[in-house]
Structures are given as structure tokens and as C-alpha cells.
Amino acid sequence: MQGQPLSGLRVVEVAMFAPDATGMHLADLGAEVIKVEEPGLGDPARLLGVPFRGESSATRRGNRGKTSLMLDLRSAAGQAVFRDLVHTADVVVEGMRAGALDRRGLGYEALRKINPRLVFASVSGWGSSGPYRNLGSHGLAFDAFAGLAPPRRVDGRAARPIGHVWQGLEAGPLYAALGILACVLRARATGESCQVEVSQADAAAAWNGWRIAHDAEAARVGAGDRSDREALLALESAAEGAGQTGERDLTARDVRYQYYDASDGPVLLMATETRFWKNFCEAIGRLDLFERWPGRPHADHDYGNEVLRDELCRIFALRTQAEWIALFIEADVAGAPVHQGGETHGDPHFEARDLWLDERVHGLRLVAPPIRIDGERAIAARRSPRGGEHTEHVLREILGYDDERIARLRRAGAIPGEPT
């Protein structure tokens, strides 16, 4: 890709585990991301899961396109190097518990004195305020908090969900990258510094916003509050029948916005608009269904029409999933194939979109980011670095340190004793 949009943007990242995806998103768009890691192990995410050829899959994904500088931020010498680096940067990303850099004298207020146009982004689990501020958590914790990961019952005991897709830890860095870019624009226009804060727990709550709003409104109504009951109904609909079970379960009783079993797997029919519903009935030669149940022009799910639901079940069982999708495309009917877990990799649309990273570069089969610019995927062209791989490069080429100063840093323990 020529002229990646964030070329020339320098980001200094001090992050562990999932928050390092903040820098990943920026690196994919061309930013220079310098990952500062503690000498020795570095980011503990390097040990996550089962290493493949000496490196964890989390590292290969989250650190692609970055350079790695090993630097001891607990030492005075290491802090001095960090300040020099911040002086040259546009953005600092703190991806640890909120306030971690401030405790080392390297927080927002200290660093903005060095760089008045600095954008400082803190990506933490729980944020800088609230009773959980200092609660150690990661991964599933934020979805559990937000109601996105309700427990199962296994052998009569509570158990974590199976096959859960983490949302808070993926959404948090994405929100952070958006906030960073907004503040970079402001900093360049005004010369003013800016502080961004994103909590992964907040992000998970935002992802589950409709359900949380619905249940809060329901609690007010249940407590005798004179809240507008129409608001509760609106939120219930937006949250796909939040809190409903049995006879009042709108999701299960939906007919025209529903999963149906084809002969080899389920498909989603989304014929809630008159146009799509009529197109579907005509395409299958059953215009009688439309004439009997034409419905309202917009957003008619035909809840509870069990006669139609039973008939559609029989109809969908007559064709394969691929045949139904082909019919939907040809007849202009809204719908989609329904896949289990990771089955999406076998879908022809996934293959046509070329959604794999280059294994020869990144060392592992990983799904690519969804952004395309001028027709090309926005993706870091370099693999994730080994811990401290670019320490010498950063010190010499970016900061201009000579041999004597680098040797002093080694003697002081601020950087690894031997070149990495």
C-alpha cells in the first residue's frame, strides 16, 4: 500500500496483554509503534497459550508491525531514555492498570511538560475511578461484569461459558484507537495535549448497552417508578426480547427474522420488510403465503405465527444452505448463512475476501483486520518482534545515542546486558 494513512505517526506503547491491540490497530494503518517492554521476559502475553515456534499466538497478532525496545522504567536511567523517546513521539499508550506510568513519574501531567502536543491514552481493565479501579482482571472478567458471559450450569455447579468470544478486551483497544486519532487531529490543529481513557469493562458494557438499559428501566418500573412504559417496550425490542422466556420470548417466537434448518445447516431469514417478504414468497413459488400474511410495510417479525413458522420449517428443509443463499442473492431477500464457532473459514465469501494474514510473514494463520484503504487491506507488513529486538535500533537511529551512552545504560541495567 502506498502512503499508509498513519505514516509518520510515532506511538510509544507500554502495554501488557490485550491493550497492546491499541498499537496493533495503529500499526496496521502505518503508524510507527515502539513497544517498550521490561528487560527479561517483556510483555507477559509472550507466554500466553501454547507457544508456536517459540512465540505465542497472542504476541504474533497483537504486536505485528511494531518495534520492541527493552527498557527498565523502574530505573532512573530507563526513565530518562523514556522521556527522550516521548519527546519525539505523537502518542503514548499506557496499557496496564490505570496510573501505572504515573507511579513511575511518567504519567500524563509529567509527560505533557516534555511534549506539549502529546496524546496520552490509558487503556485499562476498569478505568481510573470507581471501586474496581485496583481490581486485577483480564480476559473474561469484563464480559462477565457486563452481562455478556452468563454462567452455565455443569453438574449442578456454576461454570464459565464455552466457546465465548471476548468482547470487552477486543472493543476497548478499538475505542482507544478511535479516541487517539481524534485527539491527534486536535493536537495538530491546536498544539494542545490530550488525554484519552478507555476501560475494557466500560467497552463491554457499551457492547451490551441495549440489554443493560432495558433491565435498568425494568427495575424502575418494577419499583413503582412512573417511567414511561413505552420506553421499556422500545428497549425490550432493541435488546431482542431482553429478559423474556417461555411464552413471552420474542426471539424464539419470531417468524420472519429467524433461523431455519436447511438440509445441511441453518440459515437466517430476515424478511421483515414487505419487499423482502414478497420477494421470498415469489422466489419459492408460494405467493399464497404473502397474500395470507402480508404484514406491515416495515419491521414486521410476525411474532407468534406458529402456522407460518411450521410451514417455513418444512420449506427450508428442502434445500441446502448454499442453495438458499444463492436464492436470497438472486431474488433480493435479506438473510445469511449461520455458522458454528469457527466454521466461517470455510465460507466462500470469507475466502473471496482474502481474510487471512500471510503466514510466511506472521508465522501463523491469523485473521486479517477488516479495514481496506484504496482497495488494499490495512495490515502491518512486518511480523511481531522478539522482545527487545529493536533496542539498539531505537537508541541509535531514533534517539541518536552513541556507543558510550548505550554502554552506560547496559551497566546501569536499564537495557538488556547484551544486544537482542
pLDDT digits (tens, 9 = 90+) for 119-139: 999 998 888 888 888 887 878
CATH number (domain holding residue 102): 3.40.50.10540
Distance CA 192, CA 344 (A): 45
Number of C-beta neighbours around residue 36 at 10 A? 25
Q: Are residues 49 and 147 in the same domain?
A: yes
Q: Which residues pair with 157 in a beta bridge?
A: 154
Q: What's the chain's average pLDDT?
A: 87
DSSP H helices, 262-347, are 274-283, 287-292, 306-316, 321-331
Q: Is residue 323 part of a domain?
A: yes
Of 271-280, 317-326, 357-366, the least confident: 357-366
Q: Are residues 30 and 160 in the same domain?
A: yes
Q: Is residue 228 part of a domain?
A: no
For residues 12 and 60, the model is more confident at 12
Structure confidence at residue 78 (pLDDT): 96
Q: What percent of the chain has pLDDT over 70?
A: 92
Q: Are strands 266-270 and 257-261 parallel, antiparallel or unpaired?
A: antiparallel
Structure confidence at residue 333 (pLDDT): 93
Q: Which of 96, 23, 31, 97 is nearest to 61 (CA)?
A: 23
Q: Are strands 194-199 and 119-124 parallel, antiparallel or unpaired?
A: parallel
Q: Are residues 182 and 311 in the same domain?
A: no
Q: How many domains does the chain have?
A: 2
Give the residue-averaged pLDDT of 51-56.
78
Q: Is residue 25 part of a domain?
A: yes
Q: Would you say 19 and 95 are in contact if contact means Cβ atoms under 8 Å apart?
A: yes
Structure confidence at residue 226 (pLDDT): 58
For residues 404 and 224, the model is more confident at 404
Of 311, 338, 365, at which residue does a domain stop? 338
For residues 352 and 419, the model is more confident at 352
Of the CA atoms within 13 Å of residue 42, those in its CB half-sphere come to 27
To the nearest 5 percent, what fractions of the chain are helix, strand and coil?
45, 15, 45
Q: What is the pLDDT of residues 60-76, one digit of tens each?
A: 888 999 999 999 999 99
Of 308, 338, 368, at which residue does a domain stop? 338
The owner of cell 497483537 is 62
Phi, psi of 211 (to 5 degrees): -65, -40
Of 338, 367, 391, at which residue does a domain stop? 338
Structure confidence at residue 2 (pLDDT): 57
Structure confidence at residue 251 (pLDDT): 65
Instruction: Assess whether pLDDT exceeds 70 at residue 337.
Output: yes
Q: Which residues pair with 34 in a beta bridge?
A: 12, 67
pLDDT band of residue 222 (cuts 50, 70, 90) is low
Measured over the CA atoms of residue 317, residue 321, residue 323 and residue 324, the dihedral's sign is positive
Q: Is residue 256 part of a domain?
A: yes
Q: Is residue 231 part of a domain?
A: no
Q: Would you say 355 and 367 are in contact if contact means Cβ atoms under 8 Å apart?
A: yes
Give the residue-averaged pLDDT of 165-185.
94
Instruction: Assess whether pLDDT exceeds 60 at residue 243.
Output: no
Instruction: Assess whether pLDDT exceeds 60 at residue 247.
Output: no
Instruction: Assess whether pLDDT exceeds 80 at residue 238.
Output: no
Q: Is residue 315 part of a domain?
A: yes
Q: Are residues 287 and 199 in the same domain?
A: no
SS3 per-residue string spanning 340-369: CCCHHHHCHHHHHCCCECCHHHHCCCCECC
Give the residue-averaged pLDDT of 235-263.
72
Q: Which of 142, 150, 89, 141 is nearest to 120 (CA)?
A: 89
Q: What is the pLDDT of residues 294-314, one digit of tens each?
A: 998 888 888 889 999 999 999
Q: What is the pLDDT of residues 193-210, one digit of tens each?
A: 999 999 999 999 988 887
Structure confidence at residue 51 (pLDDT): 77
Q: Are residues 261 and 197 in the same domain?
A: no
Q: Would you say 72 and 37 are in contact if contact means Cβ atoms under 8 Å apart?
A: no
Q: Which of 168, 130, 162 is nearest to 146 (CA)?
A: 168
Q: Are residues 187 and 149 in the same domain?
A: yes
Structure confidence at residue 218 (pLDDT): 77
Domain that holds residue 175: 10-206+356-412
Q: Which of 166, 121, 176 is nearest to 145 (CA)?
A: 166
How far CA 397 is from CA of 65, 85, 246, 418, in Å, comes to: 18, 11, 66, 18
Burial zone of 296 (CB within 10 Å; 0-12 exposed, 13-18 middle, 19+ buried): exposed
118 is written with which cell numbers?
A: 502529546
Q: Are residues 282 and 393 in the same domain?
A: no
Q: Are residues 105 and 193 in the same domain?
A: yes
The owner of cell 428501566 is 217
Q: Are residues 99 and 126 in the same domain?
A: yes
Instruction: Assess whether pLDDT exceeds 60 at residue 245.
Output: no
Maximal C-alpha separation, the chain: 87
Structure confidence at residue 244 (pLDDT): 56
Structure confidence at residue 264 (pLDDT): 92
Q: What is the pLDDT of residues 358-409, one digit of tens each?
A: 888 887 778 877 777 767 777 888 888 888 999 999 999 999 999 999 999 9
The owner of cell 437466517 is 268
Q: Are residues 23 and 168 in the same domain?
A: yes
Q: Is residue 417 part of a domain?
A: no
Q: Is residue 212 part of a domain?
A: no
Q: Are residues 334 and 368 in the same domain?
A: no
Structure confidence at residue 223 (pLDDT): 61
Q: Are residues 77 and 165 in the same domain?
A: yes
What is the C-alpha end-to-end distance of the chain, expressed in Å? 30
- Specify the 3-state DSSP secondary structure of 172: helix
